[in-house]
């Protein structure tokens, strides 16, 4: 069905207006609806914070997390004879939000939670008192009069400011998640109704198999003689059990908050793991931030990419990242793409609007004028007449399709009659089948992908062996690998944190372990750091290879 | 959460700010440094000295090494390409370290140290080429590095570099500064007087005053 251009534009405008009116909670250009949200500074993260939380807590919390004194003055500190820059001065930057400290190379940042500070460390130091703690913060000396590490800043603070910070430190103690009770760790995963049943099942099968392994290991350790538990599980309660709750969301986006709250009221969870949606992830993102529940690595093309939150972690910025990769790729290949029009075909929904806007923004004002948008109705096959009209425009140097699972049959019909420009498709070639079956297009197609198909890692081999051992076919390889990775991360973090179930501690461990201690089976360059919330920051432009869909890289890693 | 697990997290490591370094640990530390620091491209010359400096440098080791920068092209904070080898072989003193901007403890102190060296050298700072190479190139884009450099008031003689992750790994290996996990990286500062001279390597949290003294004592 070919619609006149004017009609299409009107439809697109109406759809956009409808989205804006009914779903204020979606899209890159729309801020998450966190009432009175504000941001934290420093490498610890530029996070949305609940003003209500900050105002209901003490001045000390703001000093600790943000390094901001009353009157909005930045805290002032020195170390090793130099001033600490304002962005680095918050206590949480080193001691972490949880107060449980961290490790960096050979340097250990000690915990500063109340139960640790106010107890002696045999052979290391005496217990702190309010007075000696003030001296540590102000002068950098421990309770026994010895200097602290040169890493510890010496803070210039008024006595009342110090007192408020110490008051906060006395409240700072591990806060076990309500999602762990009676030796059961409750996890949830979220699936929206737009997800095909086979994909939903592929994800759930991996989760269930993983948790079954953990439960069997616990049962075996509990039943066996003392010492049977492996060293890796020491410190964990041998009676620990894991339970998965599937939170299915349906209906309109604005009803999802209530659905999530209802599920959580029935059974609080330690973390929301994985998850699957083609729709915006914003309601889940906001729910996790509100309830302080870690929300870990959903498979979604529409993550909340513009306003990071402490509790929500993503693989990448979805289609926005792909648009940014493409803009960088164009800039790196000026001979092919520095002149001529760039036509982007986008469905009239957020899966189209987001990357289309991101591409324009990434190309910059000067170059974005060469970009022409062609809006199509979502989910409807695109006829060859449409493509004919698109290609009739003068000097098209590249075409981009933002539609998921785009039907290119109409375009393939034209391929034998005329030369086509490179066609960029925002689709991972690893979804189990070739994205485009028509070979007539294959020499023109380019996939924008976060996956390096040339990389065969030990993690990939180990994952494939695990899948085989559990009789799971790699039917949705990327999704299943994502899911396995998330389960592995949570499992590793619980072990590394020695059975501590503080949500903030889980996040902090994953910032450390993602991509290093725990590798993703397929995404070799994934990693995080403190305050980072998107693990994959670059990608590749791939060309389709053989009939099996195995693609090959036509670019180095492209980092926008 | 129990107190014991919290203690375990921060209490296991000898370099904790709260663990006092004892004299008997020196032989152990030296042994660890010697066994763990076999550089990938070292010519075999390695002369170790205990650094005589301020109390803050008590845990710093100073060694002389021969390193060769690989032939890679990196990108500076202004988005310009920079060939690393000519930069490090320039006919002037060079001071180099490895950092990443979301690092929370060691890197800010290293960068504050560079900033303080720049300040203490005053007009002489222009004679010292300072190079900070990101070990998290996917996150530390030129834009991110530019903002970071501005925060520390980096002068024109101080470049922050990023690049292709494979090239960055090659550079780290060449200077014996590679760790698989960026968050496990060590505090290392390298200083070289002129082409052909060895690199002076400081392992640990070297102070700005110690670096300035080292620079001033250079031939």
Q: From residue B194, how far is each of A372, A533, B17, B84 by CA, in Å?
A: 54, 42, 35, 15
Contact between A500 and B6 using a beta-carbon 8 Å cutoff: yes
DSSP string for chain B = --HHHHHHHHHS-TT-TTSPP-TTHHHHHHHHHHHH---TT--S-EEEEE----GGGTT-EEEEE-----S-EEEETTS-EEEHHHHHTSSS-EEEEEE-TT--SHHHHHHHHHHHHHHHHGGGGGGSEEEEEES-TTT--HHHHHHHHHHTT--TTEEEEE--HHHHHHHHHHTT---SSGGG---EEEEESSTTSPEEEEES---HHHHHHHHHT--
A127 neighbors A118 (Cβ within 8 angstroms): yes
Q: Scanning the structure block, which residue is given the tokens 């005496």?
A: A126
d(CA A361, CA A467): 41
Contact between B10 and A80 using a beta-carbon 8 Å cutoff: no
- The percentage of residues in chain A with a pLDDT greater than 70, rounded to a whole number, is 82
User: CA-based Rg of chain B, rounded to a whole angstrom?
Assistant: 17
Confidence of residue A349 (pLDDT cuts 50, 70, 90): confident
Q: Which of A77, A94, A104, A325 to mutate to test the interface with B (most CBs of B within 10 A)?
A: A104
d(CA A521, CA A138): 47
Strand partners, A386: none
Q: Nearest CA of chain B to the CA of A428: how many Å?
A: 20
Would you call B13 an interface residue with chain A, using a CB distance cutoff of 8 Å? Answer: yes
Contact between B13 and A517 using a beta-carbon 8 Å cutoff: no
- Indicate whether this complex's ipTM tops 0.90: no
What are the backbone dihedrals phi and psi of residue B136, each rounded to the nearest 5 degrees, phi first?
-130, 65
Q: From residue A280, how far is each of A23, A24, B32 by CA, in Å?
A: 10, 11, 51
User: Taking phi first (over 0 means left), then psi (-120 to 50 degrees means alpha), and beta for anything else, what does residue A80 get?
Assistant: left
Q: What per-residue confidence (pLDDT) applies to A553? A: 67
Mean pLDDT in residue range B206-211: 93
Q: Which helix (H) or strand (E) holds A172?
A: none
Given a cut of 80, whether residue A102 has pLDDT beyond it is yes
Confidence of residue A39 (pLDDT cuts 50, 70, 90): very low
Q: Which helix (H) or strand (E) holds A476?
A: none
d(CA A169, CA A191): 39
Given a cut of 90, whether residue B3 has pLDDT beyond it is no
Strand partners, A121: A125
d(CA A492, CA A486): 10
Given a cut of 90, whether residue B98 has pLDDT beyond it is yes
Q: From residue A531, how far is each of A10, A137, B217 by CA, in Å?
A: 42, 24, 40
d(CA A398, CA A444): 10
More confident residue, A554 or A120: A120
Q: Which of A323, A272, A327, A268 is nearest to A299 (CA)?
A: A272
Query: In the predicted model, what is the mean pLDDT of chain A?
Result: 83
Q: Scanning the structure block, which residue is given the tokens 């996150």?
A: B139
Q: What per-residue confidence (pLDDT) applies to A254? A: 85
- DSSP one-letter code for A314: B
- The percentage of residues in chain B with a pLDDT greater than 70, rounded to a whole number, is 74
Token output for A318: 């979805």
Would you call A115 an interface residue with chain B, using a CB distance cutoff of 8 Å? Answer: yes
Size of interface A-B (CB pairs under 8 A): 199
Would you call B9 an interface residue with chain A, using a CB distance cutoff of 8 Å? Answer: yes
Residue range B30-73, pLDDT digits in tens? 444 333 333 334 333 445 554 444 444 668 999 999 999 999 99
What are the backbone dihedrals phi and psi of residue B8, each rounded to the nearest 5 degrees, phi first?
-60, -40
Q: Residue window 138-157, chain B: list those with CB within 8 Å of chain A.
A: 138-139, 141, 151-152
Helices A477-496 & A197-223 angle (0-180, nearest 10):
30
Q: What per-residue confidence (pLDDT) applies to A546? A: 55
Confidence of residue A234 (pLDDT cuts 50, 70, 90): low
Q: Are strands A180-181 and A154-156 parallel, antiparallel or unpaired?
A: unpaired
More confident residue, B4 or A464: A464
d(CA A191, CA A197): 10
Least reliable range by pLDDT among A7-21, A87-101, A171-185, A216-230: A7-21
Q: What per-residue confidence (pLDDT) applies to B42? A: 38
Contact between B106 and A107 using a beta-carbon 8 Å cutoff: yes
Q: Which of A65, A79, A90, A105 to mutate to test the interface with B (most CBs of B within 10 A)?
A: A105
d(CA A442, CA B192): 53
Confidence of residue A555 (pLDDT cuts 50, 70, 90): confident
Would you call A179 an interface residue with chain B, using a CB distance cutoff of 8 Å? Answer: no
d(CA A65, CA A311): 15
d(CA A242, CA A246): 13
Confidence of residue A154 (pLDDT cuts 50, 70, 90): very high
Q: Give the number of residues written for chain A.
A: 560
Given a cut of 50, whether residue B29 has pLDDT beyond it is no
Mean pLDDT in residue range B173-188: 87
**Residues 6+ away with beta carbon under 8 Å from B80:** none
Nearest to B18 among A148, A500, A560 (CB): A148
Contact between A109 and B136 using a beta-carbon 8 Å cutoff: no
Given a cut of 80, whether residue A193 has pLDDT beyond it is yes
A310 neighbors A506 (Cβ within 8 angstroms): no
Least reliable range by pLDDT among B74-88, B106-120, B175-189: B175-189
Would you call B14 an interface residue with chain A, using a CB distance cutoff of 8 Å? Answer: yes
Q: What per-residue confidence (pLDDT) applies to B34? A: 37
Q: From residue A364, how far is each of A368, A428, B111 by CA, in Å?
A: 6, 26, 32
DSSP string for A227-290 = T-S-GGGTTS-TT-EEEEEEEEE-S-GGGHHHHHHHHHHHS--SEEE--EESS--HHHHHHHHH
For the beta sheet containing A154-156, the strands, ordered from the edge strand earlier in sequence to the opposite edge, are A82-83, A76-79, A154-156
Q: What per-residue confidence (pLDDT) applies to A8? A: 45
Instruction: Calculate the CA B7 to chain-centre distance.
Output: 29
Token output for A340: 């001529």
Taking each continuous run of H as one helix and of E as one strand, the counts in chain A are: 18, 24
- The pTM of this model reads 0.82
More confident residue, A104 or A212: A212
Confidence of residue A252 (pLDDT cuts 50, 70, 90): confident
d(CA B58, CA A13): 68
Residue range A164-182, pLDDT digits in tens? 999 999 999 888 999 999 9
Most confident of A45-59, A231-245, A492-506, B26-40: A492-506
Q: What per-residue confidence (pLDDT) applies to A233? A: 52
Confidence of residue A4 (pLDDT cuts 50, 70, 90): very low
Q: Which of A313, A369, A230, A328 is nearest to A555 (CA)?
A: A328
d(CA B116, CA B120): 6
d(CA B103, CA B114): 16
d(CA A129, CA A143): 8
């Amino acid at each position: 069905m070919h619609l006149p251009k004017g009609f299409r534009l009107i439809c697109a405008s109406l759809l956009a207006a409808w989205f804006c009116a009914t779903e204020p909670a979606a899209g890159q250009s729309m801020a998450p609806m966190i009432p009175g949200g504000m941001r934290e500074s420093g490498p610890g993260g530029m996070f949305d914070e609940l003003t209500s939380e900050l105002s209901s807590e003490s001045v000390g919390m703001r000093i600790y997390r943000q390094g901001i004194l009353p009157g909005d003055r930045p805290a002032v500190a020195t170390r090793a004879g130099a001033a600490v820059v304002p962005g680095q001065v918050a206590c949480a930057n080193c001691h972490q939000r949880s107060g449980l400290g961290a490790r960096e190379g050979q340097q250990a940042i000690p915990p500063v939670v109340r139960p640790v500070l106010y107890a002696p460390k045999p052979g290391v130091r005496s217990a702190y008192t309010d007075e000696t703690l003030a001296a540590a913060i102000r002068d950098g000396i421990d309770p026994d009069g010895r200097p602290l590490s040169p890493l510890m800043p010496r803070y210039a603070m008024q006595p009342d400011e110090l007192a408020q910070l110490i008051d906060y430190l006395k409240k700072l103690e591990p806060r076990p998640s309500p999602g762990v009770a009676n030796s059961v760790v409750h996890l949830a995963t979220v699936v929206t109704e737009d997800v095909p049943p086979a994909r939903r099942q592929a994800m759930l099968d991996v989760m269930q198999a993983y948790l079954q392994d953990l439960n069997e290991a616990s049962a075996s350790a509990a039943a066996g003689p003392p010492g049977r538990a492996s060293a890796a599980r020491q410190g964990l309660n041998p009676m620990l059990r894991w339970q998965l709750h599937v939170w299915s969301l349906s209906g309109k986006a604005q009803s999802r908050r209530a659905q999530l709250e209802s599920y959580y009221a029935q059974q609080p969870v330690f973390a929301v793991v994985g998850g699957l949606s083609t729709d915006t992830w914003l309601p889940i993102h906001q729910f996790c931030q509100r309830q302080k529940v870690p929300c870990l690595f959903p498979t979604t093309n529409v993550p909340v990419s513009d306003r990071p939150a402490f509790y929500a972690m993503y693989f990448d910025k979805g289609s926005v990242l792909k648009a940014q990769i493409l803009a960088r790729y164009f800039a790196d290949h000026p001979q092919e793409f520095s002149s001529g029009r760039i036509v982007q075909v986008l469905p009239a929904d957020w899966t189209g609007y987001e990357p289309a806007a991101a591409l324009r923004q990434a190309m910059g004002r000067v170059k974005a004028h060469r970009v022409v948008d062609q809006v199509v109705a979502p989910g409807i096959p695109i006829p060859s007449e449409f493509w004919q009209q698109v290609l009739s425009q003068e000097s098209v140097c590249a075409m981009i399709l933002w539609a998921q699972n785009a039907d290119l049959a109409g375009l393939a019909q034209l391929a034998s009659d005329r030369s086509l420009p490179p066609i960029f498709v925002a689709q991972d070639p690893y979804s189990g089948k070739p994205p485009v079956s028509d070979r007539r297009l294959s020499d023109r197609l380019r996939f924008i992908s976060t996956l390096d198909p040339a990389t065969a890692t030990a993690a990939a081999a180990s994952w494939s062996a695990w899948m085989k051992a559990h009789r799971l076919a790699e039917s949705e390889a990327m999704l299943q690998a994502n899911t396995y990775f998330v389960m592995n991360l949570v499992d590793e973090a619980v072990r590394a944190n020695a059975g501590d179930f503080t949500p903030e501690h889980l996040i902090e461990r994953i910032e450390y372990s993602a991509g290093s201690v725990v590798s993703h089976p397929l995404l070799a360059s994934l990693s995080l750091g403190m305050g980072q919330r998107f693990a994959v920051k670059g990608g590749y432009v791939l060309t389709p290879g053989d009939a099996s869909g195995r693609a090959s890289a036509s670019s180095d890693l492209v980092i926008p | 959460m129990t107190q014991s697990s919290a203690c375990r997290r921060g209490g296991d490591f000898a370099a904790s700010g709260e663990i006092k370094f004892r004299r008997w640990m020196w032989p152990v530390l030296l042994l660890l440094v010697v066994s763990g620091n076999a550089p990938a491209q070292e010519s075999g010359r390695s002369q170790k000295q205990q650094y005589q400096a301020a109390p803050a440098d008590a845990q710093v080791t100073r060694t002389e090494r021969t390193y060769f920068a690989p032939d890679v092209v990196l990108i500076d904070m202004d988005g310009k390409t920079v060939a690393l080898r000519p930069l490090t072989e320039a006919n002037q003193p060079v001071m180099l370290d490895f950092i990443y901007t979301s690092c929370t403890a060691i890197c800010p102190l290293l960068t504050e140290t560079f900033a303080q060296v720049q300040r203490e050298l005053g007009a002489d700072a222009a004679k010292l080429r300072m190079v900070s190479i990101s070990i998290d190139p996917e996150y530390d884009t030129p834009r991110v590095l530019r903002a970071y450099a501005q925060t520390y008031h980096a002068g024109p003689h101080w470049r922050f570099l990023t690049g292709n992750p494979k090239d960055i790994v090659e550079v780290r290996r060449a200077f014996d500064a590679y760790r698989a996990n960026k968050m496990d990286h060590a505090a290392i500062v390298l200083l070289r007087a002129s082409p052909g001279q060895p690199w002076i390597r400081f392992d640990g949290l070297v102070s700005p005053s110690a670096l300035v003294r080292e620079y001033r004592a250079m031939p």
